């Protein structure tokens, strides 16, 4: 055993003697070789995202600001989600919003996806279809807004006639009527937003969702045994 005079001293010696030799090597069967791929790579792991009042009382710094700073300088951003806990906290929403404009860097990872059963995958499919419908609705409402005069009046009219607007979106994009949200609840939510600030439709993102629903999810379901077999 090596002599230590403090906890910090002990950790330094432990790192130098035990951990540092392992940083640039990768052991596989009977040989050891340098893992050159990892030498220029740095992983930055954010602290756990908080929910509720903890995000206000237990942060001594601007978490969203710090995350945005790292996002501007990194090459890849991994967003980890628990596939059977898809609710997003307010703090995580702010983090995701701070990444706007860096879509090309973002990859979504479903953590512990191998532990998900068919029912949970079906819930994921419902969530993806709902997000697709939401994108079509929001982009349609933005497109219906005038360029200059009468914006407030037009927005009120669109909210009052939301059921008709849903019908237009459904017919234009050939969407199942049952996938649309509750009209009255959606009206209540829309009343707190400015339609002019809504995002335009991004066809590539819609195509990504369609590819996932049409190919990715069916391929994933092949890995599950049919309970009726």
Ordered by start, the domain boundaries in the chain are 10-38, 42-116, 117-229
What pLDDT sits at residue 47?
Answer: 72
Checking if the pLDDT of 125 tops 90, the result is no
Report the chain's mean pLDDT, rounded to a whole number.
80
Least trusted range by pLDDT, from 43-57, 121-135, 204-218: 43-57
Percent of the chain with pLDDT over 90: 35
Specify the higher pLDDT residue, 134 or 64. Answer: 134
Is pLDDT at 213 greater than 60 in this prediction? Answer: yes
Q: Tokens at residue 218, please?
A: 């069916």
Nearest-CA neighbor of 187 among 135, 221, 137? 137
pLDDT (0 to 100) of residue 100: 87
pTM: predicted TM-score of the whole model, two decimal places: 0.56
In what helix (H) or strand (E) does residue 134 lie, and over which residues does it extend? helix 118-144
Distance (Å, rounded) from C-alpha 95 to C-alpha 79?
10
Provide the pLDDT for residue 9: 65
Least confident of 42-56, 59-73, 142-156: 42-56
**Is residue 99 within a helix (H) or strand (E), and if so which, with residue range?**
none
Say whether pLDDT at 30 is over 70: no
Which residue, among 201, 190, 202, 196, has the nearest Cα to 145 in the 3D structure?
Answer: 196
Question: Hey, what CATH topology would domain 117-229 get?
Answer: Topoisomerase; domain 3 (1.10.268)
């Amino acid at each position: 055993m090596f002599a230590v005079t403090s906890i910090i001293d002990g950790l330094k010696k432990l790192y130098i003697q035990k951990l540092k030799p392992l940083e640039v090597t990768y052991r596989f069967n009977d040989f050891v070789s340098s893992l050159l791929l990892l030498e220029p790579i740095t992983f930055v792991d954010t602290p756990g995202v908080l929910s509720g009042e903890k995000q206000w009382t237990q942060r001594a710094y601007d978490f969203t600001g710090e995350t945005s700073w790292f996002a501007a300088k990194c090459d890849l951003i991994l967003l980890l989600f628990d596939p059977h806990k898809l609710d997003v906290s307010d703090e995580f929403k702010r983090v995701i919003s701070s990444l706007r404009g860096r879509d090309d860097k973002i990859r979504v990872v479903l953590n512990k996806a191998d532990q998900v059963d068919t029912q949970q995958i079906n819930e994921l499919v419902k969530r993806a279809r709902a997000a697709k419908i939401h994108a079509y609705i929001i982009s349609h409402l933005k497109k219906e807004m005038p360029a200059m005069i009468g914006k407030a009046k037009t927005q009120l009219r669109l909210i009052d006639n939301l059921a008709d607007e849903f019908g237009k979106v459904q017919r234009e994009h050939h969407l199942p009527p049952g996938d649309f949200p509750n009209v009255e609840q959606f009206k209540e939510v829309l009343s707190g937003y400015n339609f002019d600030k809504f995002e335009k439709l991004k066809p590539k993102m819609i195509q990504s969702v369609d590819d996932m629903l049409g190919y990715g999810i069916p391929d994933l379901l092949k890995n599950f045994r049919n309970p009726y077999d």
